[in-house]
Amino acid sequence: MDSIKKLADLFGKFPTVGQRTASRFVFYLINQPKEKIDELIGSLQELKNNIKLCRFCFNPFESNEAFCIICQNASRNKQLLCVIEKEADLISIENTKKYNGLYFILGGTLTLRKTDGSNLRLQALKERVKEGNFLEIIIALNPTPEGRSTSVLVERAVKEISQTLKITHLAQGLPVGGELEYADEETLESAFEGRK
Amino acid sequence: MDSIKKLADLFGKFPTVGQRTASRFVFYLINQPKEKIDELIGSLQELKNNIKLCRFCFNPFESNEAFCIICQNASRNKQLLCVIEKEADLISIENTKKYNGLYFILGGTLTLRKTDGSNLRLQALKERVKEGNFLEIIIALNPTPEGRSTSVLVERAVKEISQTLKITHLAQGLPVGGELEYADEETLESAFEGRK
Amino acid sequence: MDSIKKLADLFGKFPTVGQRTASRFVFYLINQPKEKIDELIGSLQELKNNIKLCRFCFNPFESNEAFCIICQNASRNKQLLCVIEKEADLISIENTKKYNGLYFILGGTLTLRKTDGSNLRLQALKERVKEGNFLEIIIALNPTPEGRSTSVLVERAVKEISQTLKITHLAQGLPVGGELEYADEETLESAFEGRK
Amino acid sequence: MDSIKKLADLFGKFPTVGQRTASRFVFYLINQPKEKIDELIGSLQELKNNIKLCRFCFNPFESNEAFCIICQNASRNKQLLCVIEKEADLISIENTKKYNGLYFILGGTLTLRKTDGSNLRLQALKERVKEGNFLEIIIALNPTPEGRSTSVLVERAVKEISQTLKITHLAQGLPVGGELEYADEETLESAFEGRK
């Protein structure tokens, strides 16, 4: 196959990238000086060689250590564990600067095609819960159908290890800037139930 | 002025209606049989003659009674008062079928131009609180800048009447279908703080 | 039926207005002083009583004359006739200030449900063509499926009256601000074919 | 710098890619098997080594020849030259299957920052026009402000070589599916002027 087509196909598998955008990426690179393509290649090599996943939370990081900078941080609260779907969620939560516990990246959610949880790190999660000393497991998955059915699975997995461990879920309600008039019924209901 | 232009100007003041849409409304009417325009005129007459605002909650309704169907309903909880901005919010909350108390329609919010609250029914609200027998005042205004600054004013007004009355606000959090990755920091923070 | 519901139903039939917006219109009116509703009623009365359709082009207008201001205008070119779907199209074309002929408002297009043209003023159009002294009939319908199938019907109707009369259609091509990369094939093809 | 950050920065320079999407690309790659990253690296190497620009039209292609498959094609009309901004425009035009001449990729447009044309292949274009045997130069740039000011420059460059050569521009008009009511005045004007 032609190298333009081949590279466009690979870019076309990137998240949010369609065929047309993938072609734009290839033409963008063709019009760059060759050193720029070398720089991209070098950067991909480094990513491949240097990045590993944290042995505890599966957060990708770059160092000779076994654990990522969050898991190594002595000032983080080791009794709180927040279960999230993916790396981007960790970044969002860290950006709030309000959560000081540990994370566990589940690596995905149940989907219409993957309904048994074999694509999730449930076994590793159970090990973390067993070996850790947690007071609370925060299940911080999206309030979407996929996130909710996954939450059920995660909750069940945690309970297999401990029946008494506190398990919490993120609050549902009106988002900042939201309007009652346009809120769906379930969100509005949650906003009423959780009022304080 | 020309009747087309005049009517388009009046429609152009309707909420969400721009000049082009206002013209479409007029042309739509021109192309209807005259009886349809008479029907609209009749319906506007009825609205003007029959609709009054409930003496307690300011909900518009149609009957010879002094109070609307919600305020008259013996099975509603008379110890709960939910302060809302406008009629559409009442409809949204009623649609959830989860709130069984009374309402009070404030009639607007503070805005950049109206900052003293003279466009709001604060005096009437204070009277309702004084004369009522409430256990909780739910301030259910939008979590927008306008709604929030209005909430402060409403809370202050209620406290002028009673320092001890329970005042609550709707829960903030992730809306149904929301995603952590795209949630703003404040919403995510609220979702963490309100977890349960 | 309740006057609020009844009026909301009537507004809900206006073009582009859904149920929620229709309710907003009603609540907007309820919160206006009664004189404002009277003003709206008066304006609708005037529309009903004063507006008539031009005997030639069906453009709605207000005067004791039989013909609208465009058809009466001695400086307009009486040998050009532009067939359009609706009043708003006439306004758009007049706004360009580049067309100086007459108009004929067809009153709609064929649709999936109305396929015989009985909703169109085809008979009146044929009379205008027969009685007029036209050099060119410009069929200015939208390049949409509905507009195109209607154009075929209009063209056929004109040809029933005169086989030799010049019939033209608006140019297709790239719109101002359009981009070749995102243009559909047919638009791009027209842009090439019509190049000059 | 961290390899994640470094690669995200490089992806962030791709067209249409913002910071958040660039991070998603990196996390996507981290979660792929290492062979997938190798495949991407290999494909970038091939692109760098195998792709060259056609000596005539600057279309990127892959072969040992000096000219691309379009320029080599004996059945293409060598008397028509279509000047375009970029590769994606060539693909769009080829997809219509209605143009059978040659292309010349200008490599960009004038912008607010690049106003002298030094980023364009104007010199090469003049050489092609001088050495070729063209009957018509089609300037097929976007009808955007950038494309139009560039068209002026291209037209001037061609005229420096030949005062008599036919120069055409793509037709402007209503795009397929467009509506008169929402068309901007200039587009509607072009649609009237180009009617046929």
pLDDT, tens digit (0-9, with 9 covering 90-100), for D122-152: 999 999 999 999 999 999 999 999 999 999 9
Do C58 and C104 meet the contact criterion of CB atoms below 8 Å apart? yes
Report the residue of chain D nearest C88, measured CA to CA.
D181
Q: Average pLDDT for residues D62-78, to the nearest whole number? A: 94
Say what the ipTM of the complex is.
Answer: 0.88
Residue C51 to residue B21: CA distance in whole angstroms: 19
Contact B12/C at CB under 8 A: no
User: Which CATH number is D42's domain given?
Assistant: 1.10.8.420
Q: Residue B192: which of A170, A177, A184 has the nearest Cβ?
A: A170
Residue type, B24: R
Number of domains in chain D: 2
The answer to the question of residue A28 being in a domain is yes
Q: Average pLDDT for residues D175-185, to the nearest whole number? A: 95
Contact B137/A at CB under 8 A: no
10 Å CB burial of residue C123 (0-12, 13-18, 19+) is: exposed
Residue A110 to residue A117: CA distance in whole angstroms: 6
Do A62 and D3 meet the contact criterion of CB atoms below 8 Å apart? yes
Residue C180 to residue D85: CA distance in whole angstroms: 9
- B-chain residues near A177 (CB < 8 A): 143-144, 184
Same domain, A85 and A165: yes
Contact A16/B at CB under 8 A: no
The answer to the question of residue C181 being in a domain is yes
Cα dihedral A77, A79, A85, A87 in deg (nearest 10)? 30
Predicted pLDDT at A1: 65
The answer to the question of residue C62 being in a domain is no
- B-chain residues near C87 (CB < 8 A): 27, 30
Contact D32/C at CB under 8 A: no
Using alpha carbons only, give the angle C156, C159, C161 rounded to the nearest 5 degrees: 125
Q: Residue B37: which of C31, C44, C91 has the nearest Cβ?
A: C44
Same domain, D81 and D133: yes
Rg of chain D taking only CA atoms, in angstroms: 21
Using alpha carbons only, give the angle A21, A12, C186 rounded to the nearest 5 degrees: 50
The token pair that represents C119 in the structure block: 């909703």
Contact A6/D at CB under 8 A: yes
Q: Do A180 and B140 touch (CB under 8 A)?
A: yes
Report the residue of chain C nearest D189, measured CA to CA.
C96
Question: How close is the nearest chain A Cα to the Cα of D195, in Å?
Answer: 33
Q: Do B27 and C88 touch (CB under 8 A)?
A: yes
* Chains adjacent to D (≥3 CB pairs closer than 8 angstroms): A, C
Q: Residue B48: which of C37, C47, C91 has the nearest Cβ?
A: C37
Contact C138/D at CB under 8 A: yes
Closest by CA position to B7, among listed C55, B38, C3, B24:
B24
Range of the domain at A88: 74-169
Q: How confident is the model at residue B63 (pLDDT cuts 50, 70, 90)?
A: confident
Predicted pLDDT at D1: 65
Contact D47/A at CB under 8 A: yes
- Please, where are the H alpha helices in chain C? 3-11, 19-30, 34-50, 69-72, 87-96, 122-131, 145-161, 185-193
Same domain, C80 and C9: no
The answer to the question of residue B57 being in a domain is no
Whether the per-residue pLDDT at B1 is higher than 80: the answer is no
Predicted pLDDT at C115: 86
User: Which CATH number is C85's domain given?
Assistant: 3.40.1360.10
Report the residue of chain A nearest D20, measured CA to CA.
A88
Residue A65 to residue A9: CA distance in whole angstroms: 36
Same domain, D81 and D165: yes
Q: Residue D4: which of A24, A41, A51 has the nearest Cβ?
A: A51
Question: How close is the nearest chain A Cα to the Cα of D132, in Å?
Answer: 26
Same domain, A79 and A159: yes
Over pLDDT 70: what percentage of chain B? 99
Q: Cα B1 from chain centroid? A: 35
Structure letter (DSSP) for residue B33: -
Q: Do B93 and A188 touch (CB under 8 A)?
A: yes
Residue C70 to residue C53: CA distance in whole angstroms: 12
Q: Residue D16: which of A10, A24, A40 has the nearest Cβ?
A: A24
pLDDT, tens digit (0-9, with 9 covering 90-100), for A159-172: 999 999 999 999 99
**In chain C, how many H helices and how many E strands?**
8, 6
Residue type, B147: G
The answer to the question of residue B16 being in a domain is yes
The answer to the question of residue D61 being in a domain is no
Contact D184/C at CB under 8 A: yes
The answer to the question of residue C184 being in a domain is yes
Please measure the distance between the N-terminal and C-terminal CA atoms of chain C and give it in whole angstroms: 62
Predicted pLDDT at D63: 86
Q: How many CB pairs below 8 A link A and D?
A: 112
Whether the per-residue pLDDT at C90 is higher than 80: the answer is yes
10 Å CB burial of residue C25 (0-12, 13-18, 19+) is: buried
10 Å CB burial of residue B21 (0-12, 13-18, 19+) is: middle
Same domain, C118 and C196: yes
The answer to the question of residue A190 being in a domain is no
- Please, where are the H alpha helices in chain D? 3-11, 19-30, 34-50, 69-72, 87-96, 122-131, 145-161, 185-193
Adjacent-strand bridge partners of D77: D101
Same domain, A108 and A39: no
Q: Do D170 and C142 touch (CB under 8 A)?
A: no
- C-chain residues near D138 (CB < 8 A): 192, 195
Adjacent-strand bridge partners of C83: C104, C139
Same domain, C22 and C91: no
Closest by CA position to C109, among listed C134, C138, C136, C89:
C89
Predicted pLDDT at D71: 97
Residue B115 to residue B102: CA distance in whole angstroms: 27
Q: Do A144 and B171 touch (CB under 8 A)?
A: no
Residue D45 to residue D24: CA distance in whole angstroms: 23
Neighbours of C191 (CB within 10 A): 27
Contact C8/D at CB under 8 A: no
Inter-CA distances, C104 with A19, B135, C91, D8, D57, Å:
45, 68, 13, 59, 49
Same domain, D45 and D104: no
Q: Do B173 and A168 touch (CB under 8 A)?
A: no
Same domain, B80 and B136: yes
Q: Do B89 and A180 touch (CB under 8 A)?
A: yes
Predicted pLDDT at C64: 87
Same domain, C43 and C98: no
The token pair that represents B177 in the structure block: 């279908």
Name the strand (E) or helix (H) holding A160: helix A145-161
Do A129 and A123 meet the contact criterion of CB atoms below 8 Å apart? no
Spans of chain A below 70 pLDDT: 1
Q: Residue B14: which of C25, C30, C39 has the nearest Cβ?
A: C25
A3-11 vs A19-30: helix axis angle to the nearest 10? Answer: 130
Q: How confident is the model at residue D112 (pLDDT cuts 50, 70, 90)?
A: confident
Closest by CA position to B129, among listed B85, B161, B86:
B161
Question: How close is the nearest chain D Cα to the Cα of A178, in Å?
Answer: 23
pLDDT, tens digit (0-9, with 9 covering 90-100), for C123-169: 999 999 999 999 999 999 999 999 999 999 999 999 999 999 999 99
Please measure the distance between the N-terminal and C-terminal CA atoms of chain D and give it in whole angstroms: 62
Whether the per-residue pLDDT at C1 is higher than 70: the answer is no
Closest by CA position to A99, among listed A76, A83, A71, A79:
A76
For tokens 């981007």, name the residue: A88
Residues within 8 A of B (CB atoms), A 98-117 only: 98-99
Residue D10 to residue A117: CA distance in whole angstroms: 34
Same domain, A113 and A81: yes
Contact A63/D at CB under 8 A: no
Contact B170/A at CB under 8 A: yes
